Structures are given as structure tokens and as C-alpha cells.
Structure 1
Amino acid sequence: MRLIMIDDDAEGGDALAEALELHGHQVDRKHRGSDLLLAHHGYHAVLLGLDLPDMDGLQVLRKLREVSSVPVLILGEQADERSIVLGLHSGADDYIVKPARVAELAARLEAVTRRVGVATVARGETVVSDDVRVDLAARRVEVAGELVPLTRLEFELLRVLVERPGIAVSREQLMDCVWGDSLLAVSRKLYVHMAALRAKLDRPELITNIRGYGYRWGPDPYETAEAGKLLKAV
């Protein structure tokens, strides 16, 4: 299992990382919360300390949850109920009190990653909406039977949206998935490429701009459900 450990306890963190590696895990050590926000891709789980040099660990966790569902286990100093509940409510999957018992931590890691694996939905290779056909495997897009050439970034934006039909995707999620940076200071890149994508597809009803939040592929599922109820009533 590939893990990333964000903790400012150099001696204790190094010892824990070495012990986990003896259990067959690969552990990358980082010390700053910003390191996690910029480098959480490709890991099976996160071990997160709360006392970090650049920001509070719970703040890091809440920011991470805006863009990722990767399992997070908090490595906390406090064993009181309030601290544990606060960590879980902030988005953690589990809370381990330091010093962590390695065998228990390894078992908890297996448990949370197993739950995530069961909940994962397989992604389809082709998405069809009205007369728009998106072949994710071939990276090919057709509108009304005509091929629409997209740049790499335009296709990546489209892929993120069509894999989540009817779900609002935040600007931070899009920037994280496409550029690998949810903290991208100049989000104008997103607006420019999204505007180009919408113009090329020429189907404004398929990509909804949710003001102040992000975008959605396809109609609002709640509006569709309400319309269905009205038709049945008639």
C-alpha cells in the first residue's frame, strides 16, 4: 500500500514510517500541510498529524476533502472524545492516538481502504448525452456524428464532468484533477479552457455553470425528478 505521512514529528514519524515499511507498505514522508494538498494523488491513504508548521491539520483535512476522498487517518496527540469527534467530523476516516501501535494502525489502514474499494464505482468507457458521444478510452468526442477536436486540457475537463453526470463539480476539484493543484492562484486558466470547451461542443445545456461553485454535466437531477412528477400528475 502506498501511503503519504504528513507530520512534523521527525523522530516519531520516521520510526513509524520504518515500522510500516516492515509491514510491506511504501511511506512517503512530508512535513507541511501544503505538501499534502499538492501531492495527494496516487496514494492509497493519508496519515495526517495535526500540529503542522504551515497550517492546522484539521484545516488541511477540510481543504483536502473539497477535492479528494482518499482515506485519511489522523495521528493525534489528544485522546479525549471531543478531539476525536472533531477530527472525524472534519473528514477523517479514523483517528489514532500517538504513539501509534503499528499492528493496529496497519489493520485500520486495511479496513478503511477496503471500505473505499467496495464503494468505488467502475467508470464507463463511453458516455452519451443527447447527440454528444464521449469515448473516454479513445479520447474521442462526437457531436451529432461529427468529430470535435479538443485539446488535452479541454478533454480532461470534459472527462471530469462526464464521469460525474448530474453532480456539481467545484472549481477546486476541476483544477486539482486537471492541473494537479487545488490551490492554483490563477483560476483564469480554468475559465479560458472551459469557455473554449463549451464553444466547441455548442451544447450549453449540457455544461451548467453553477455560479460561485463550479460546473455540472447534464441536467439537474432534482429538477428532472420534479418534472417527472408533474408529468405523472397530468
Structure 2
Amino acid sequence: MLSDPAGNRPAARTGSGRLAGPRRLIPQPPRSQRGNIMQVLVVEPCAATAERLAGVARRQGYGVQTASRGQEALEKYPRADLVLLNLALTDIDGLEVCRTIRAAGHTPIICVSNQDSALDRVLALKSGADDCVVDSCAEREIIARIEAVMRRTGRLHEQPPQVVSSGPLRIDGRTREVRVGERLVVVTSKEFELLYALAVNAETVVSRKELMATVWRDNWAQSTRTIDTHVSSLRAKLGSPAWILTVRGVGYRLGHAGTSSSAVGAAP
């Protein structure tokens, strides 16, 4: 039995030996415009509160870093897509941290205040914050505010369609099934993710580095055999090498059986 990459229950085999799709929808993690999983930096001096806020973000699929001091936050924020910043820091005033991050760029900032004070909200917004919340607010409100700020600042990438079709090729993100015409193509978990990543970016070339980060959650850009092996297997299972085209020196893109181009080739 195979497990899907989101950690859901293993997919069961049907009587014919084929893999049945998962019984429930697999949510797609929030992604940045670069296609990477969104990273939230939680800056919070209280360990218990930091863990609570980090847990809220992780349950929604965000990647999370934490920092307990202002100096640590200033070192880590360049790797974050959004900063959740408590104003009551012990080493540097939270408003000063907010002003420093804002002066350096456009990283979205949501300030967290220990009290429901209009003055705190005004000072946070004047210091460059995109929003300000009370640390005791409900989990749903925190997530809603994060998503609202991400959308407003253009950082949140729209979720890809759950079903992608290209001619007779149909890739269903809900059931994790791949079909060519009426034929069900049995693929492994990583083969499905690789094909789906190419399908939702059908008009663009997806680099090897992006595929390693998206499919294998690995930033090691030098790997060749892992991707090539999966591409070769997919081409055989789909029935034509033209379904996945190699852009030499760059990566891959989704093709169409019978298409050709002088700029791309079917061989890895």
C-alpha cells in the first residue's frame, strides 16, 4: 500500500490491483508566487505562545520559523514570506523591528499586541505593519488575516486547478488519478506529483531545481538521476515520450503526444 505525500491514509488497491484514489480531498499547501510553500516567521518571546501560533500556521500548510528576540528576527526575516511580530520583545522594541523590516523591503508584517489597544494598532500601522491583531484572537481569525495580507500584497499564489486536462490526458488532483483517454495510468506518488507540477504550469518550463523543491521537498539542485528516472517512467506509462518535453539545460514542460519543437526534445 502506498501513502500519499500529505500524510493521509494509504491508498487502497482495488480488486484489479489498481490504486484507488484517496477518500477525501487532499488540500494543497499555500504557495508563494515562486511556487514554494509559504514561510511564516513567528516572532514571539513567550515559548508557549510561539508554539501555539506556529501550530496554527503549520496546520494550514505553512512552513514556520520562530524567533524569540528582535535581533534573531532581523536575521531570519529575509527567508520568510510573512512576519508575525509580537510588539513586546525583550531586546529591541517591536515597533523598531517593524520599521527596520519595512525599510528594507516589502515583506508583509502582521503585528501582534498583548492588549486590545487602538494606540498599539495605530503605532504598528504607522511603523509599516500591514495589519495588527491581539495575541488572544481566535485561530481562524489569525489565518484569515494572514491570507488577507498575502492576497493584498500579491504574495499568495492562487491554488492550482484540481483537475488538469491536455487533450486526452487528464490529471485529477482530488483522486490522484491519471488517465489517457479512457485508460487509467497507474503511477507512484512521486510520479503523480511530478506530472501534476508540470501540468499546472503547462505553458512554462519548470526547472529541475523547482521540481526538486516541489516534489521532493529538497533544494539540492544538482540531482539529475532522480528526476530523469521518474520522467522516463512517466513517459513509458503515458505511452509517448512527447507528453513530457525536455528543455535542454533548463528543465521540463508538459507536451502533447505527437507535438514537436526544434527548441525541445523528448529525450532527457
Question: How does the TM-score come out when normalised to structure 2?
Answer: 0.42
Work out which of the two has the higher radius of gyration on C-alpha atoms and give 1 or 2: 2
Structure number with higher helix proportion: 1
Question: How does the TM-score come out when normalised to structure 1?
Answer: 0.48
